[in-house]
Every structure is written in C-alpha cells, then in structure tokens.
Structure 1
Amino acid sequence: MTDALHAVMAEATRLTRSGRLDEAAALIRRTLRGGFAPDTSSKTSDFSGHEPIDSTCRVIDDIPQLTPPPDSGASAHGSRHDAGRSAPSSAFEATFRSLRTGLESIITKPSQANPDIQAGGQFMTGSFTNPAGTRAYKLYIPSGYHGQALPLIVMLHGCAQDPDDFAAGTRMNVLAEREGFFVLYPEQAPQANPSRCWNWFKASDQHRDHGEPSILADMTRHIVSTHGLDAGRVYVAGHSAGGAMAMVMGVNYPELYAAIGVHSGLPYGVAHDIPSAFAAMQQGETAALLQRESSFPAALKALRIVPTIVFHGDRDTTVHPGNGDRVLAQWATVHSGAGRKLRVTANRGQVPHGHSYTHSIYHDASGQVVMEQWLVHGAGHGWSGGSPDVSYTDPKGPSASEEMVRFFLKHSQGKP
C-alpha cells in the first residue's frame, strides 16, 4: 500500500506541474476516499474521480513550557493519540497523512470569496523594488481613511497562496474596515520560490538589510511614508512560511514593528536550507533550537523584545506544534538574559460548536502582556477562525485575526 501511495503522490505531482490541476485534484479526492493508485506506466492519464467564552485562569509557571514531542514510535507528522495504535496501522496512516499534506501543499483550493468588496474600502495592487529585488503587493485602504495616521498590519501569506486568497481566508480586510487600519499583503514571486513560500529558511534571507527581509522592511516603510501612517503602530503577521518570516522580521527590525503574529510558524534561525527546514517543521527539535540560539543578532539583547502572539493547532502535521512553544521560548530566553522574568497565566476555553483551546498570557515584571499563545486543540495547519471558502483555514477555531488585531492595537512604540 505504501508503494501505491507513493505512486499516487508522484502522479498527482506530475499532473500539477503539467498544469492539469483538475485531474490532480480529482486523483487526490479519489485517493482520500480509498481509491486505487494510478497506472503510471502510461504517459497520459485520465482520472476524473468521483467527483466571548467562559474560561478559568490560573498561574501556570514563571517560564515557558515546551510542548512535548509525540510519544516514542509515533510519526513526526502524527497525532499524539496515534502512539497506542498498532504499528502497521500507525505506519500506514502516517504515510497517508504525509501524502495528503504533500499534495495539498502544491494544489491550492479555488478562492470563492472576494476580498475586494469590504464596505467601500479600496484593495489596490502595487509593486515595490529595492536593491534586493522586486515584490508585488496588495494594499487594503479602509473607507474611513482621509489622510489620518492609521496603523498598518503587514500580512505574509503561506506557501501556494497569494494576497487575494490570504485576505479572503483571514478576513483581515473586514477587521481593517471596522477598526480603521491599513493592511499590506506582500506577494512572494514564483521566481524567488516556485511554491511561493517566503524563504525564511535561507541564510541569505534571515538577516537585516539583506534579501527578503530588506525588501519587506523597505516596502513597509514605503507604505507608511506614502500614506502618512502611524510609524509607532506597524505590525507584521503571517501563516506557516509567512509566520516564520514574520518572526524573522520581528527579530531583525524591532524598531519597525511594534508587535508580531506567528500562526503555524517557526522560531528564528532553526534552518539554513531546505533539508533543515523540513527537519524543523516535522520534528521541532529542542536541540536544533538550542544549537542556533547564537544565531540571534547580537544587538537584539540591547533592543526591545517585540511583543508576540502565537497561534498553532496541536494536530498540525505540516509544522510541528512544538514550534509555537519555541517561538515564545526564544523571546523568553532573551528576556531572561536581560535579567527580566516572565509570569505566565493560562485560560481554557471552547468555541461554541468548535475547537477548545488553551490561551497562555506572558506578563513582564510590570504586569504588561508581552506575549500570548493560543494552542487550538484538534486544529491542523489552517488559519484559526478563517473563512471556509479558501485554502488553509480552520473555521472551527477561535479567530486568530480578531485576537491578533486586539493584541496589536494594545502595543505601540515611538517613531523609528
């Protein structure tokens, strides 16, 4: 059966790369319903297929707690609950999940939502160039904008996404219209990454004033300057590869971004190429993080620690949920290195007819909230509380967009 699944993956990948997305999608649907592997001996194939919440609060600890890895013997992609099953069944299901995740990562669901229509706001297309390169973007301007200094949230999409898909899935433009802020959606170029992933894992794209961080930072400054926005209320958030890149931006530009949001992302500097990126995504090894603590810019310890809100599903088989813990642990390590101690409280809650979650809040010595973590129980690799009509969302979770906006607007800083 494993060989058959590999054959399905290979055939669906071939169909996708040749532009035959409908056939690839049909093959995926058929396989997930228990269909058979394709006959790959022929060069041509025709797979039509058949076709606010009550909570309690208590002090948990004074240090970040890391999510333990799956029980010994379970797949790195698997749920913790898989360990008790028989070995053949677990191995088959792990391979099956790996197949599904791999195929879904290269085939984007069709976008049915229209992010342009948001109560009169404008959704403009633009392009920005600096010495490091050129990237397209879309910019949402709320209808209430009349030249005043509004906040800006920069939203970094995940792999196989684009600004329209990400805007529709997160519904961030709806919140921008309601709360009065701009939203900038930079777009990764396929020439820079064929899967449209931000290159958070490349050493050349992890440092200040180099590569993609340089482009994104200068693009942010350009939008703030051009529209007269509030330079003290600029934020960056992202999902998956975009979440990892949001962490890169927070680490390298703490004077530019007042707070960051990391959804299903990874810590800073835990990878330097594609193999190490997959290792970090699948295993979330503590050792890998500790070995790369020195990769934090030396000047960071002398600067402000950027307030951070993290969302992650505990059933995420694409990016190990332990990575969410380690994003916070990374900041907390720097925080404690400066002689400051964090106090952590936790709330348990339940979305009506949806997922339960654990909401952890990190306070500094003065009582200010500097970090938050939302661990969504039962959720996978999708934007929590997002629209069901587009890719990589989980409508059953608490709204990551609502909570990030709330968190962001409570944090500001002086103009850079």
Structure 2
Amino acid sequence: MARRRKAGGWAGVFARSMQALTSSTWRTGSAAVKQAVRPVLDKRRPPAGPGQWISGVAVGASGMRRFRLYRPPGIVFGERLPLMVMLHGCGQDAKTFATSTRMNRIAARERFLVLYPEQDLVSNPQGCWNWFDTASGRAYGEAALIMKAIDQVCLMYAVDRARIAVAGLSAGASMAALLVARHPERFGAVVMHSGIPPGTAHSPLSALGAMHGHRPTRPLADRAAARPTAWPPLMVIHGTRDKVVAASNGRAAVQVWADAAGATPAGPRSVQRGKRYATSVTDFKRRGRTVATLVEIDGLGHAWSGGAARQLYSDGLGPDASRMAWAFAARQFRA
C-alpha cells in the first residue's frame, strides 16, 4: 500500500502559512476584543468593599445625568442616614472618584450614604462640570440636574434631608460651590478641594483666567449678608504647589464666605502626621460659630490629598481629605 506523501512545495507552504495566519488573527482579534471590553466591564464593576453600588439616572429640562449611590451595609428599617454628595474632577467619573477618595470606606464605618453624580462626555469631552458657563446658563442646567439626583435619592432611599453635605475636586469643587450658592438651605456643609469660588468666571475664557488666579471674586449674593446663618459652613482644601488651579482661589473662596457672614480669622495652626505633608489650618468664626475653614497643604499639587495610590489626581502623601471632609460635615450636622 502506497504511503501518503506530506504536502510539499508551494501548496504545502501556502497551507501551513494560512493555518498560522488564521491562528494568529484569531488570537490577535480575541485580545483586541478583550482589551476593548475591559474598560466597560471595569466601569460596571463596583468599587471594592462592602455595601451596595447602585446606578441611577436624573432627568430634567437640561437633559440627563447618570449617578452612582453607595449604601453602607446593615441599614435597618426606618433608619435615616446623612448624605455626602461627591462631585468628581476633570478626567474622572463616579467610580474613579470613589476609588481615589475612598469615601465609601469612611461611609461604611461612619454610616452615611454617598452620591456620585457623573458628568456626560457629550456635555464636556474632558468630563469636567461646566461650572463656569453661567452666561449661557449651561452651568445652572447642570446644577439643576445634580439637584434632581439628590432629590431622587432622598425620595427613594433612607436619607436624612437635614444632614446633606457636598464636596468636590477641581471642577467638581467649583460646581459644589455653585450648588450651595443657588440652594444654601439644602446643605449643611460644603467642601471645596482645589476649586474656584462662585462668581469668578462666566465663560470658558474667563475660567482659564480664574484658574490661574487672575480673576477677582465677586461678593456672595446680598441674601448671604442679610442671612449669614442660612449659608452652610465651607471647608477649603488646597495644595500650595497646585499648578492647575492657583492656591489663591482657595484663599479667595474662604475670604468671600467669611466676609458675607462677618466672620474673622483665628490664628493659623500647624498640623503634621508622620511623613505626610504639613498642613496649615485657619478657622473663620462669627460669634463662636465656624463659618469657613482653610486647609493649606504644603507640597500638594492638583490632587485629592491622601487619595489612593496610582489613581489620577490622587496623592497619598497628603493628609486624608476624605476624613477631613466627613469630620467637618459631621460637626456641622451636630451643631
């Protein structure tokens, strides 16, 4: 019986090449699909830790915005918890901000809810809140959508409406200030980390000047001077080496808040824990009540102080801004 001869010559080379090419293409295509799908899956996966990571959508006259809500474990029937609203900065979303700040970990321990509204990339390709665009009204529309998200969460979950605070980083900090300027009665405290005070910009061009500290800050609305107790206390956290948003913006925000309430500064106190950056803290008080607190962190750039390592706009060498923000808000809730 004749033996089968192995395919040789051009036909054999062609067959073997096609087999190798098909196998290589399949592996390359599979790897490309996995690489494309991974960011989507990562975004849907909740941050590490106990508790619930809930998706939601707020809809209003200005459109819609997605949000995420963190609920700590062990909530019992009838229990109402404080709410911390966290507004991310440019280049971030709800999950990356939660991962960077680790606010959920504090919420699980201290028992409060955390709301993370999320900017739409269609509205801003960099993911920045358009806090500055007041001339066109777009800033007010986004603020209204964030308030819609807050109202929705208050309606659907166990929120104590008397204990709501808002905090933000960079563009999120500026949007937090705008929210409070428009709805001071809704918040018990506001924390601005590396942001710009309200009324400093009204367009994209003026926002650039404001970021570099070249724009004057207008006084708060007249109603603030008439009813200073209606405005929630402000904490400003800012790094001395911030090259994106000038540190003078932090000082201006605190000063305009203090001026509206007739508050005066106490002497600054220095704080340093271990090898973390040194901090200077100045309280502005009126009749014994803290109206504003300025936290200046020596050596910190444009990043969340004490944030998780290897995260965008996060610096683990600074004192923990999340702890400071919650401690500040909790003090106001008790008061």
TM class by shorter chain equals 0.7 to 0.9
Q: Please report how far the alpha carbon of residue 144 of structure 1 lies from its aligned counterpart in structure 2 after TM superposition.
A: 2.3
**Aligned residues of 1:140 and 1:173 also touching (Cα < 8 A):** yes
**Aligned residues of 1:205 and 1:211 also touching (Cα < 8 A):** no
User: What's the secondary structure of 1:411's corresponding residue?
Assistant: helix
Q: Matched residues in 2 for 1:407 and 1:348: separation?
A: 17
Letter in 2 for 1:277: A
Determine the structure 1 residue equivalent to 2:8: none
1:122 corresponds, among 37, 52, 55, to 52
Between structure 1 and structure 2, the one with the greater Rg is 2
Q: Deviations over 1:227-280 (max 9, x none)?
A: 131111001000000011111111111111111000000111111111111111
2:329 matches 1:408: yes
**RCO higher in structure (CA 8 A, sep ≥6):** 1
Letter in 2 for 1:376: I
User: What's the secondary structure of 1:265's corresponding residue?
Assistant: coil
Determine the structure 2 residue equivalent to 1:369: 290
CA RMSD for the aligned pairs? 2.2
Q: Deviations over 1:49-80 (max 9, x none)?
A: xxxxxxxxxxxxxxxxxxxxxxxxxxxxxxxx
Determine the structure 2 residue equivalent to 1:211: 141
User: What's the secondary structure of 1:232's corresponding residue?
Assistant: strand
Q: Matched residues in 1 for 2:136 and 2:88: separation?
A: 16
**Aligned residues of 1:232 and 1:413 also touching (Cα < 8 A):** no
Residues 205 and 381 of structure 1, relative CA distance in 2, 3 Å threshold? farther
Q: Matched residues in 2 for 1:360 and 1:413: separation?
A: 21
Please give the TM-score of this superposition, normalised by the length of structure 1: 0.66
Determine the structure 1 residue equivalent to 2:198: 268
Letter in 1 for 2:118: E
Q: Please report how far the alpha carbon of residue 207 of structure 1 lies from its aligned counterpart in structure 2 after TM superposition.
A: 9.2
Q: Matched residues in 2 for 1:115 and 1:227: separation?
A: 19
Letter in 1 for 2:115: L
Q: Please report how far the alpha carbon of residue 322 of structure 1 lies from its aligned counterpart in structure 2 after TM superposition.
A: 0.5
Determine the structure 1 residue equivalent to 2:280: 358
2:105 matches 1:178: no
2:261 corresponds, among 301, 312, 335, to 335
Task: Give the count of matched residue pairs.
Answer: 291
Q: Matched residues in 2 for 1:257 and 1:347: separation?
A: 27
User: What's the secondary structure of 2:186's corresponding residue?
Assistant: coil
**Aligned residues of 2:257 and 2:291 also touching (Cα < 8 A):** no
The 5-angstrom pairing of residues 49-68 of structure 1 reads none
**Aligned residues of 1:115 and 1:173 also touching (Cα < 8 A):** no
Determine the structure 2 residue equivalent to 1:3: none
Q: Please report how far the alpha carbon of residue 174 of structure 1 lies from its aligned counterpart in structure 2 after TM superposition.
A: 0.2
Q: Matched residues in 1 for 2:276 and 2:189: separation?
A: 28
Q: Matched residues in 1 for 2:148 and 2:135: separation?
A: 17
Letter in 1 for 2:223: A
Q: Which runs of 5+ in 2 are unaligned?
A: 1-41
Letter in 2 for 1:168: T
Q: Please report how far the alpha carbon of residue 140 of structure 1 lies from its aligned counterpart in structure 2 after TM superposition.
A: 0.1
Q: Matched residues in 1 for 2:203 and 2:290: separation?
A: 34
Determine the structure 2 residue equivalent to 1:76: none
Letter in 2 for 1:411: Q
**Aligned residues of 2:168 and 2:193 also touching (Cα < 8 A):** yes
Q: Matched residues in 1 for 2:276 and 2:289: separation?
A: 30
Q: Deviations over 1:151-172 (max 9, x none)?
A: 0000000001001100000000
**Aligned residues of 1:271 and 1:277 also touching (Cα < 8 A):** yes
Q: Deviations over 1:382-407 (max 9, x none)?
A: 00001013110111111110011001
The 5-angstrom pairing of residues 146-165 of structure 1 reads 146-147=76-77, 148-165=79-96
Determine the structure 1 residue equivalent to 2:232: 306
Determine the structure 2 residue equivalent to 1:347: 269
1:387 corresponds, among 285, 308, 313, to 308
Q: Matched residues in 2 for 1:388 and 1:157: separation?
A: 17
Residues 369 and 207 of structure 1, relative CA distance in 2, 3 Å threshold? farther
